[in-house]
């Protein structure tokens, strides 16, 4: 909707002349006029030349990153992030910055670069993105997912939403600091992680375990899956609202293993492992997890209720959730703990009763709920079914108040004064979980002002991922403003 298929054209970025100018951080007056668009603000350097602004190169960087296939299959079979990391290193080197490329395993590369802040006595900030993407099946897409075509004002491709858009916004701003000799407000550690899409084992968790010194003095972090706008219907029309992510559910990936008695398929058997597993899975599926609203969910629902005039009462929540559009999936997942069965495995011959049967269950728990969730699952699994934790990660929750939150809000409102800024909890997870192990409070703040008819949230890991170039430019401006004022 609003983004019909038009004539596709490959986004090729600025021409060679502009690129050379970008490399030197200057450009001719002719180039300036030709590239001028919307409300680009210009930064004049001390020598009187104009430096390329973040918003002028953010789309180029986003497109170039999308064209580097960094699919993460979760089993080490992907190409890895090395090429994307080398690209980031090149963009840093071009403006005179020396990044550090760290490999956890061959090809699994993370890039870190630190910039000194205007006031180094204050606690540091981490600003991070991930370089990997989830795989894309080209047959499902309207475009080649790794071509970064520009159509109808959007850049299309895997990572346009998650999260080469924000990577580009971050990188464009780092380059601007370097070119203009200006500083972020606080000492800032910028990280481009490997392996976020498989839990960060070879990226964020590895860096926190092996090189925590990069985060010394860092108190807060910002990253993905927050800061984008939705358009909410109000009694007087509609209002834009930015969803600032302040919490993440925790993850418990469990394996249920039922034990039974093996035997001949013709002989009655009341200790069948498959039947025991099926009963356990049925009990888990039927379990009604109690609703509990954590602070960010409560505040989101209450503020939305005020904006829309709709009820936030539990019995009557559907109309209110519907006002969130595509983002309601994320919010629905945060009203309670959840447990979804995702894989089943058992048996090897039609006439053999197997001795074991296993199921995979993806559980997500609210902050503070991990122990209670595990106890409930064990009880539902029953006496013949073991519960094994395959992977777990923490739930996190940061306050929707304080100086950093105020800085994020103000940076958004300076560009979009009529908008609302709302907290929300993410049903999934990000690399902020790993940084949380160092006591760093993490927020999702990848600012994007989006058209009302672009259904953005479902494009995370979805098909036909695309981001408007105007949104990228907005994000580059807001992020830069935030980094200078936070």
Please report, as ranges, the residues that interact with Zn ion according to CB under 5 A.
Answer: 162-163, 224
Among residues 209, 207, 221, 127, which one has the least CA distance to residue 172? 127
The residue (of 72 and 376) whose beta carbon lies closer to Zn ion is: 72
- Min separation Cβ 222 and Zn ion, Å: 13
The residue (of 148 and 161) whose beta carbon lies closer to Zn ion is: 161
Q: Which tokens go with 316? A: 């009557």
Angle at 218 between CA 215 and CA 224, to 5 degrees: 85
The residue (of 293 and 460) whose beta carbon lies closer to Zn ion is: 460
- Min separation Cβ 342 and Zn ion, Å: 20
Pair 115, 190: CB distance under 8 Å: yes
Question: What backbone torsions phi and psi does residue 285 show, to the nearest 5 degrees?
Answer: -65, -35
Assign residue 461 a region: left if phi > 0, alpha if psi is -120 to 50, beta otherwise? left
CA 15 to chain centre: 31
The residue (of 57 and 162) whose beta carbon lies closer to Zn ion is: 162
Tell me the β-bridge partners of 456: none
State the Cα–Cα distance between residues 168 and 313, nearest whole angstrom: 41
- Min separation Cβ 388 and Zn ion, Å: 27
The residue (of 162 and 465) whose beta carbon lies closer to Zn ion is: 162
- Min separation Cβ 338 and Zn ion, Å: 20
The residue (of 149 and 224) whose beta carbon lies closer to Zn ion is: 224
Pair 172, 58: CB distance under 8 Å: yes
Instruction: Tell me which residue has its CB nearest to Zn ion.
Output: 162
DSSP H or E run through 370: helix 370-381
Burial (CB count within 10 angstroms: exposed 0-12, middle 13-18, buried 19+), residue 101: middle
Q: Position of tokens 């104009």?
A: 50
- Min separation Cβ 218 and Zn ion, Å: 20
- Min separation Cβ 132 and Zn ion, Å: 8
CA 375 to chain centre: 30
- Min separation Cβ 197 and Zn ion, Å: 7
The residue (of 258 and 467) whose beta carbon lies closer to Zn ion is: 467
């Amino acid at each position: 909707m609003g983004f019909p298929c038009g004539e596709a054209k490959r986004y090729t970025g600025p021409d060679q002349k502009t690129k050379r100018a970008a490399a030197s951080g200057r450009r001719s007056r002719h180039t300036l006029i030709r590239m001028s668009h919307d409300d680009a603000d210009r930064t004049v350097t001390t020598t009187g030349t104009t430096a390329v602004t973040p918003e002028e190169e953010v789309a180029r960087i986003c497109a170039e990153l999308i064209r580097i296939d960094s699919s993460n299959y979760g089993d080490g079979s992907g190409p890895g992030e090395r090429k994307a990391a080398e690209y980031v290193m090149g963009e840093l080197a071009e403006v005179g910055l020396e990044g550090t490329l760290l490999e956890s395993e061959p090809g699994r590369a993370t890039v870190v670069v630190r910039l000194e802040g205007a006031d180094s006595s204050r606690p540091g900030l981490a600003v991070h993105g991930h370089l990997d993407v989830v795989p894309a099946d080209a047959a499902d897409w309207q475009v080649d997912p790794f071509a970064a075509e520009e159509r109808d004002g959007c850049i299309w491709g895997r990572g346009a939403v998650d999260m080469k858009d924000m990577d580009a916004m971050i990188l464009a701003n780092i380059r601007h600091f370097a070119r203009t000799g200006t500083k972020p407000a606080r000492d800032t550690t910028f990280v481009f992680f490997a392996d976020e899409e498989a839990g960060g084992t070879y990226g964020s968790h590895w860096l926190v375990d092996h090189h925590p010194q990069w985060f010394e003095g860092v108190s807060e972090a910002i990253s993905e899956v927050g800061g984008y706008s939705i358009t909410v219907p109000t009694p007087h029309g509609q209002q834009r609202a930015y969803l600032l992510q302040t919490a993440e559910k925790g993850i418990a990936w469990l394996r249920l293993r039922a034990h039974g008695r093996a035997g001949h398929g013709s002989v009655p058997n009341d200790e069948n492992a498959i039947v025991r597993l099926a009963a356990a899975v049925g009990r888990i599926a039927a379990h009604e997890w109690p609703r509990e609203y954590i602070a960010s969910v409560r505040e989101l629902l209450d503020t939305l209720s005020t904006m829309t005039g709709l009820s936030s009462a539990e019995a009557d929540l559907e109309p209110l959730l519907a006002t969130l559009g595509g983002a309601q999936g994320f919010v629905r997942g945060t009203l309670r703990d959840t447990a979804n069965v995702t894989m089943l495995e058992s048996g090897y011959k039609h006439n053999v009763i197997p001795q074991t049967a296993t199921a995979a269950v993806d559980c997500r728990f609210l902050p503070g709920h991990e122990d209670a969730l595990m106890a409930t699952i064990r009880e539902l699994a029953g006496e013949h079914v073991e519960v094994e934790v395959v992977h777990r990660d923490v739930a996190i929750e940061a306050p929707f108040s304080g100086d950093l939150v105020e800085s994020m809000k103000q940076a958004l409102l300076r560009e979009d004064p009529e908008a609302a800024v709302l907290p929300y909890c993410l049903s999934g997870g990000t690399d902020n979980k790993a940084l949380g192990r160092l006591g760093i409070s993490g927020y999702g703040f990848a600012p994007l002002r989006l058209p009302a008819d672009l259904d953005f949230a479902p494009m995370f890991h979805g098909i036909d991922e695309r981001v408007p170039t105007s949104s990228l430019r907005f994000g580059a401006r807001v992020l830069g403003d935030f980094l200078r004022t936070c």
